[in-house]
Amino acid sequence: MSLPVESVRRTFALLEELNRQRISSVRHLHEATGLPKSTIVRLLETLRALGYVTNDPRQGGYQVTSGVRSLSAGFHGDPLVVEAARPWAIEFSRQFKLPIGVAVFDQRTMVVRYSTALDSPMSPFHATVNTKLRVLTRAMGRAYVAFCPAEERKYIMDVLAASSHPEDQVARCPDEVREIIARVRRNGFAERSPTVEPKSSNTFSVPILLDGTVLATIGISYFCSSMPKAKAVSSYVPLIMELARKIESSVRALNTNFADGPSHVLENPTASRAGKARATRAAS
């Protein structure tokens, strides 16, 4: 792994600290970052020339401008939950050998944004990233629509009712939609419709929630021939429910503590376990 470019690291350290304060003096930035004052001044002048920082003597220091918003213009929300889910999904598949998918809602389908299918010897699918899944027939879509706010659900149903896709036709049958949603909410998880392919496998899914909003859904797939469905439910559903809670905790941490920098927020399950093992050895 190549070492980070030091000048870039220093620039971002400075920007992060500037973002934390309304007004920052060179002295404060020096104390907060540990960077030499001469370096800080050079970086500030560069950031000022680029339009990211302004220096108003009447306010007594430096502050970021609206130009910093352009640095996050490509970030639209769902990568945050994917970022939070990634280490947990990897650890889950390492431990249980089963594939985990993370999907987000996009217009009228769920889009798989992350998957450990390639890491799982038991995965029914070779690759699923960027796969579009229909909302009312696929487990990850059902988990989303069953737990999203009622107003959002109504909007989605109206959109799907106008769709010509065969798997969206159920949206025109309100009674059937109500039954799907009631069953998922009653069970606490969703499963794929038995009427759609592939029928050789099945998927269970649960939502990742934050303050009543469904950020994404996670799903686990298995071969139907490997065990009866009742056993699969009792074996797999509690696992993905626990996984969802862990991801939700990481999302909250990212939202709450992002000012401390991403490296301080997300706990890597594998690294955490290794760290605990080292601490145990040291104590003994």
pTM, two decimal places:
0.69
Hey, where are the domains in the chain?
6-72, 78-259
For residues 223 and 225, what is the distance between their CA atoms, to the nearest angstrom? 5
- For residue 144, the tally of other CB atoms under 10 A from its CB is 28
How many C-alpha atoms does 108 have within 13 Å on its Cβ side? 13
Q: How confident is the model at residue 256 (pLDDT cuts 50, 70, 90)?
A: confident
Q: With beta carbons less than 8 A apart as the criterion, state whether 183 and 193 touch.
A: no
Q: How large is the greatest C-alpha to C-alpha distance in the chain, in angstroms? A: 73
Q: Which phi and psi (to 5°) does residue 157 adopt?
A: -65, -40
pLDDT for residue 257 is more than 70:
no
Task: Indicate the range of 16-25, 87-96, 259-268 predicted with least confidence.
Answer: 259-268
Return the closest-CA partner of residue 108 out of 77, 135, 138: 135
Q: Give, in order, the Cα–Cα distances in Å from 67 to each of 35, 48, 50, 174, 270.
A: 23, 10, 9, 47, 38
Q: With beta carbons less than 8 A apart as the criterion, state whether 139 and 196 touch.
A: no
pLDDT digits (tens, 9 = 90+) for 206-247: 999 999 999 999 999 999 999 999 999 999 999 999 999 999
CATH number for 6-72 (one of 3.30.365.10, 1.10.10.10, 3.30.230.10, 3.10.150.10): it is: 1.10.10.10
Q: % helix / strand / coil in the chain, to the nearest 5?
A: 60, 15, 25
Question: 78-259 — its CATH code?
Answer: 3.30.450.40
Task: Indicate the range of 23-27, 70-74, 190-194, 235-239 predicted with least confidence.
Answer: 70-74
What angle do the packed helices 139-147 and 150-161 form, to 10 degrees?
130
Q: How confident is the model at residue 260 (pLDDT cuts 50, 70, 90)?
A: very low
pLDDT for residue 155 is more than 50:
yes
Q: With beta carbons less than 8 A apart as the criterion, state whether 50 and 57 touch.
A: no
What angle do the packed helices 139-147 and 174-187 form, to 10 degrees?
90
What pLDDT is stored for residue 175 in this prediction?
97
What pLDDT is stored for residue 278 in this prediction?
41
Q: With beta carbons less than 8 A apart as the criterion, state whether 205 and 140 touch.
A: yes
What pLDDT is stored for residue 171 in this prediction?
96
pLDDT for residue 258 is more than 90:
no
Which helix (H) or strand (E) is 102 found in, with range? strand 100-106
What pLDDT is stored for residue 264 in this prediction?
39
Q: How confident is the model at residue 11 (pLDDT cuts 50, 70, 90)?
A: very high
What pLDDT is stored for residue 68 in this prediction?
85
The tokens of 232 are what?
A: 């699969």
133 class by beta-carbon count within 10 Å (0-12 exposed, 13-18 middle, 19+ buried)? buried
